[in-house]
Structure 1
Amino acid sequence: MDKLGRREDLHRVVSAAARSWSDLPLDVLRLVASRVPLPDHPHMSLVCKTWRRSVRQVYPADRSPVLLHYKRWGSGIFHCYSPLFNKTFVLRCPADLSGTKICSARDGWLMLRRNSQVILANPITGVAHHLALPQHCHYFMYVSFAGPPSDCTVFAIETFIPESVRISVYRRGSWASPRTYENNCRFKISPRSNPVYHRGSFYCLGSKGELGVYDPEKDTWTVLAKPINFYPAKSSNCGESFLIESEGELLSVLTGKFGRRVRVFRLNEVDMVWEKIESLVGRRRRSLFVRSAMSISSTPSIDHRMNNKVYFPRVHGEPEIIESEVERSGDRIFFVPKCSSREGDDETRRRNEGDHGGICCCDLENRKYSEYFGSNEYLYSIWFEPRLSDD
């Protein structure tokens, strides 16, 4: 072989070695990306623009509670607004939940009501358990549940006068006949707070900070002698109040008008008094998500900026709406847009991801509040933590 031929061969070898992975055909990169676990797709997209076009855009669904609501009430389509991403993911539930009303939520399960049925459903997996209602259980004013659907306890309470309550309980596979319990002292349930399951009993928050407790094992209802009030020196109502169970503690959130003057209290279960706390930092940097149907405590594990805040079901602006599917990867779950690729969507995404405001919240660290004015409230909504629970 002459010298010219050897130079050409050497040039081709050097040129091939100098080519980068970004020079691979897009179809080949997509094939590689299809074998990459979903949690690694965001990392893969940071390599270069070509790789970014080859991987799917995914959003972790299990790193922050979402505000789940029906855009069109009673349909099989539900919307999940993520305060972490300030986006709304539109999903079709695998189970038939048409015509239902959301009552409560816990541990990845929704409790819904439809005519003469109570349904415990996981909208992520599509698993649903139906609990037939007897004729005497025709109405729920406040309701909560505990335990897996196959062995759950449902607690429903009605109150029309401060002197008594009417309680219905589903336990061990059947409904007990409703019972009326006389209050040992006057008790008016906070209209914005569902019961909370804590240490084997269901707790109901009074409008002034009192607590009513139902023990399902003993079938007893008691209005506790203490606490009497959030502020012992005051006897008047304290505005909107929410009860939350958080890592073995009972917390309550009080709000003034328009989300102003947010206060958080912890129940001292030794002295049985509410103690005001200024921060959630000492409690694994938690955040609180309040809503009348269900308020929850969570530890957002992606963005530290979400910690130590109280979130409300109100949003400024118009979050980007993304038609999505839910996909598993190991023990993780992700919102995946139905568009299979990022190709050509960068400009659209930049246009959609402008300054759309975000969720209303109170930052407990610097006492900053989001204005209610100009925000939109999701009326038929509930805070929900997506999980892969099947039972």
Structure 2
Amino acid sequence: MASPSSMSPATVSRRGSRSPSKKALMNPSFADLPSDLLRMIMSHLVLEDNIHASGACKSWCEAAVSVRVVEKHPWLMCFRKRGNLVELRDPLQWKLYTLSLPELAESTVCYSRDGWLLMDKTGSKKDVFFFNPFSRELITMPECELEFDTIAFSCSPTSDNCVVVAIRFTYYSATISTCHPGDDKWVTATFPCHGIGVYKRSNLVYQNDRFYCINAAGFLSNFHPSSGTWSGYCVHRLRSPYMYDRNQYGRKAKAVALAEKEGELFVMYACMNEKPMVYKLVSMKWEEVSETTLDSLTIFFSFHNSELRTNLPWMRSKVYFSRFGYNRKRCLSYSFDKSMYNRKRRASYSCDESMCRPGEESRSWIELCRPQILWIDPPPKNLLDLMLSSSHNN
């Protein structure tokens, strides 16, 4: 029988299980690290380093492959009401970076795509221009005579295929102006509204040479810039209870957003404190996305643009909204796995963590998305060191 002195917590095991050998205890290996810790370490590596690390041993390979991120998640960009400083935050690490952009003085953001911002001068939507906040490249556009409600572009303005579409809705009509970077003027035409201008509308989404828009009542319309045609899309009308049941959901903050992923259209209806409802367009019909599909999705929702990702292991099965949480500690998000929104609240003059289940009221959260905050592609790594960073949250 072994003496007590020869026994230690590290060598004691249940009867029938094998104890670690003395040699293993004296010579620990990185391969013996717990799998959760290995995955956490691997998640902080860039793709190239992740691939190199996966060749070390079997346990490292399994951990590296399980968290390998091919896609990059977007960052939040917040425009301050005064001054030239713009805030950038990684929704995963939540570290604050500030970027001085005097070029955007007295300007408001309209849309973001492929790392570019589409801006207009405050108080005048006629003065529209492109701006890349990281390269500082600015591309001007001719004066737009249309006081538009929504605007979007198809791809990077440096591409020959880029087209900008601006739309003004009324109860009966949709007035649409189009322009390519480098053109001398916008081309404008007016079409029947097809019912989309009556209710709250989503952002514009470009897919397969068309711009799509859906409203709270479920009307989907599209504009084909090549032929200059605007039409209602022949899909069944999607009726979200968040928009129709005014007795139960009438006073809560609501939002509707379109997103495109690999040629497929998705729409999400959100209502404060309720589970977001996500649908996918399949064979000209909206189908609610299954729990299995939601588990692989990450949705980034904003007033100006919405993004979908399918390969973000540490952020999957969530919706991230373009709104800072209480005390600016994180952004508002919803977890499909936990069926909860994250929340911060005051309790005994201190800040503690709480979770609100669907149906619970929270009057301090009156908006899901803020117009001055949007999602943008992350900055290049070589630029981060040059930006003013802070480990403290404002």
Contact 1:230–1:274 (Cα < 8 Å) also in 2: no
| Residue 117 of structure 1 pairs with residue 127 of structure 2 | yes
How far is the alpha carbon of 1:245 from its aligned partner?
Answer: 0.9
* Structural mapping, 1:35-184, within 5 Å: 63-73=72-82, 75-93=83-101, 96-114=103-121, 115=124, 116-134=126-144, 136-137=145-146, 139-150=147-158, 151=160, 152-161=162-171, 163-171=172-180, 173-174=182-183, 175-183=185-193
Residue of structure 1 equivalent to 2:285:
273
Relative to structure 1, the CA distance from residue 378 to residue 80 in structure 2 (aligned partners, 3 Å threshold; closer, same or farther) is farther
* Structural mapping, 1:306-325, within 5 Å: 306-319=315-328
Relative to structure 1, the CA distance from residue 67 to residue 190 in structure 2 (aligned partners, 3 Å threshold; closer, same or farther) is farther
Residue of structure 2 equivalent to 1:370:
342
TM-score (norm: length of structure 2):
0.64
Contact 2:174–2:197 (Cα < 8 Å) also in 1: no
How far is the alpha carbon of 1:90 from its aligned partner?
Answer: 1.0
How far is the alpha carbon of 1:206 from its aligned partner?
Answer: 2.1
How far is the alpha carbon of 1:235 from its aligned partner?
Answer: 6.7
SS where residue 96 of structure 1 aligns? helix
| Residue 261 of structure 1 pairs with residue 275 of structure 2 | yes
* Structural mapping, 1:220-259, within 5 Å: 220-230=229-239, 239-256=254-271, 258-259=272-273
SS where residue 306 of structure 1 aligns? coil
How far is the alpha carbon of 1:77 from its aligned partner?
Answer: 1.4
5+ long unaligned stretches in structure 1: 1-36, 41-59, 320-355
What is the RMSD computed on CA atoms of the aligned residues? Answer: 3.2
| Residue 217 of structure 1 pairs with residue 226 of structure 2 | yes
- Pick 1 or 2: higher relative contact order, CA cutoff 8 A, min separation 6: 1
Relative to structure 1, the CA distance from residue 248 to residue 259 in structure 2 (aligned partners, 3 Å threshold; closer, same or farther) is farther
Output the amino acid matched with 1:276. E
Contact 1:124–1:386 (Cα < 8 Å) also in 2: no
How far is the alpha carbon of 1:386 from its aligned partner?
Answer: 2.7
How far is the alpha carbon of 1:177 from its aligned partner?
Answer: 3.3
> What CA deviation, in whole Å up to 9, does each residue of 1:101-153 have, x standing for no partner?
1000011111101244322111011111111214x23x121111012213320
Output the amino acid matched with 2:308. S
Relative to structure 1, the CA distance from residue 359 to residue 235 in structure 2 (aligned partners, 3 Å threshold; closer, same or farther) is closer
Residue of structure 1 equivalent to 2:3:
none
> What CA deviation, in whole Å up to 9, does each residue of 1:190-217 have, x standing for no partner?
5352210011100011222221110011
Matched residues, number: 283
SS where residue 178 of structure 1 aligns? strand
| Residue 287 of structure 1 pairs with residue 298 of structure 2 | yes
SS where residue 149 of structure 1 aligns? coil
Residue of structure 2 equivalent to 1:385:
377
- Cα separation, 2, equivalents of 1:305 and 1:189: 39
Contact 2:75–2:91 (Cα < 8 Å) also in 1: yes
- Cα separation, 2, equivalents of 1:196 and 1:180: 20
> What CA deviation, in whole Å up to 9, does each residue of 1:331-367 have, x standing for no partner?
xxxxxxxxxxxxxxxxxxxxxxxxx4x2221112232
Which residue of 299, 308, 317 maps to 1:297? 308
- Cα separation, 1, equivalents of 2:108 and 2:199: 21
How far is the alpha carbon of 1:240 from its aligned partner?
Answer: 2.5
- Cα separation, 2, equivalents of 1:265 and 1:171: 32
Contact 1:104–1:143 (Cα < 8 Å) also in 2: yes
SS where residue 318 of structure 1 aligns? helix
- Cα separation, 2, equivalents of 1:63 and 1:274: 28
Contact 2:295–2:317 (Cα < 8 Å) also in 1: no
Output the amino acid matched with 2:93. F
How far is the alpha carbon of 1:382 from its aligned partner?
Answer: 1.0
- Cα separation, 1, equivalents of 2:135 and 2:198: 34
Relative to structure 1, the CA distance from residue 88 to residue 249 in structure 2 (aligned partners, 3 Å threshold; closer, same or farther) is same
Relative to structure 1, the CA distance from residue 317 to residue 369 in structure 2 (aligned partners, 3 Å threshold; closer, same or farther) is closer
- Cα separation, 2, equivalents of 1:224 and 1:147: 23
Relative to structure 1, the CA distance from residue 300 to residue 67 in structure 2 (aligned partners, 3 Å threshold; closer, same or farther) is farther
5+ long unaligned stretches in structure 2: 1-45, 50-68, 344-361, 381-394
- Cα separation, 1, equivalents of 2:208 and 2:293: 22
| Greater Cα shift, 98-107 or 150-159 | 150-159
TM-score (norm: length of structure 1):
0.64
